[in-house]
């Protein structure tokens, strides 16, 4: 399917690895000019790689200026930058209030910062898209990592606020919620669980994840970063011109609403 994205300019935060990298590669495959904003180095020669901390508004402003001077006005934003607490949060008392601020700063205020940076230009041009990577954890109150779950719920809610505010200006905003995806963040959840278990209860990542998938994913298989990227780039394209304010799950049926 031709998504009509040739020479469009897209920014992907958190695009150095995992789902963000898959999104950047998918945009590039569609002919878009892509900037990756990440605190980590990006090795992909097909993108403009910029070191950006989404909690630092000056860093974002500098990256926006550099992106637009080298690639052109930003037409599409995909915000995939996120962190977890690094701890296994069931029960929530396994964590302390000190485990929350960094997650909320990156996952919630990072979203706020990039939205404030790119929205004025999109609004002025009367065109643009934003897609925010949330999680099924933000819909079901996942106990695995309460700060992460709460931050993803905030992502969904703020994206709906943005969608309502920006719709009159021709800017579309939606959220994509991955389910079980093999990423460094997913593996870190297992590691936190594993480290908290007595020796006799410890299990390999493969065994732990396979049982979880059997129990909660109706399609019975991992979602791949490319699965999420396909949905994100479709929502960013003119093919989804009448879609905004939506929360789309790419989760193998993990979360169903009826």
Q: Phi and psi of 223, rounded to 5°?
A: -90, 140
Instruction: Map residue 38 onto helix, strand or coil.
Output: strand
Q: Two tokens at 86?
A: 């690094």
Bridge partners (DSSP) listed for residue 174 = 131
148: annotated active-site residue:
yes
Count of positions (residues) in the chain: 258
Q: How far apart, in Å, are the Cα atoms of 132 and each of 23, 27, 140, 158, 198? A: 12, 15, 18, 10, 37
Instruction: Map residue 28 onto helix, strand or coil.
Output: helix
Between CA 57 and CA 213 the distance in angstroms is: 38
List 88, 132, 148, 190, catalytic entry: 148
Bridge partners (DSSP) listed for residue 132 = 79, 175
The residues annotated as belonging to the active site are 148
């Amino acid at each position: 399917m031709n998504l009509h994205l040739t020479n469009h300019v897209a920014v992907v935060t958190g695009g150095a690895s995992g789902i963000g990298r898959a999104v950047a590669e998918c945009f590039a495959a569609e002919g878009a000019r892509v900037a990756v904003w990440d605190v980590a180095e990006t090795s992909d020669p097909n993108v403009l790689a910029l070191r950006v901390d989404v909690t630092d508004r000056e860093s974002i402003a500098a990256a926006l200026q550099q992106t637009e001077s080298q690639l052109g006005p930003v037409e599409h934003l995909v915000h995939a930058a996120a962190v977890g607490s690094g701890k296994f949060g069931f029960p929530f008392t396994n964590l302390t209030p000190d485990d929350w601020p960094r997650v909320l700063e990156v996952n919630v205020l990072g979203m706020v910062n990039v939205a404030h940076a790119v929205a004025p230009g999109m609004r002025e041009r009367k065109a643009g898209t934003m897609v925010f990577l949330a999680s099924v954890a933000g819909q079901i109150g996942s106990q695995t990592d309460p700060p992460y779950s709460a931050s993803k719920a905030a992502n969904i809610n703020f994206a709906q606020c943005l969608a309502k505010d920006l719709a009159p200006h021709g800017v579309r905003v939606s959220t994509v919620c991955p389910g079980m995806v093999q990423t460094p963040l997913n593996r870190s959840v297992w590691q936190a669980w594993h480290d908290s278990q007595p020796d006799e209860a410890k299990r390999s990542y493969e065994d732990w994840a396979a049982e979880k998938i059997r129990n909660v994913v109706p399609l019975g298989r991992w979602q791949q970063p490319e699965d999420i990227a396909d949905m994100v780039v479709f929502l960013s394209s003119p093919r989804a011109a009448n879609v905004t304010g939506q929360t789309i799950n790419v989760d193998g049926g993990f979360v169903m609403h009826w």
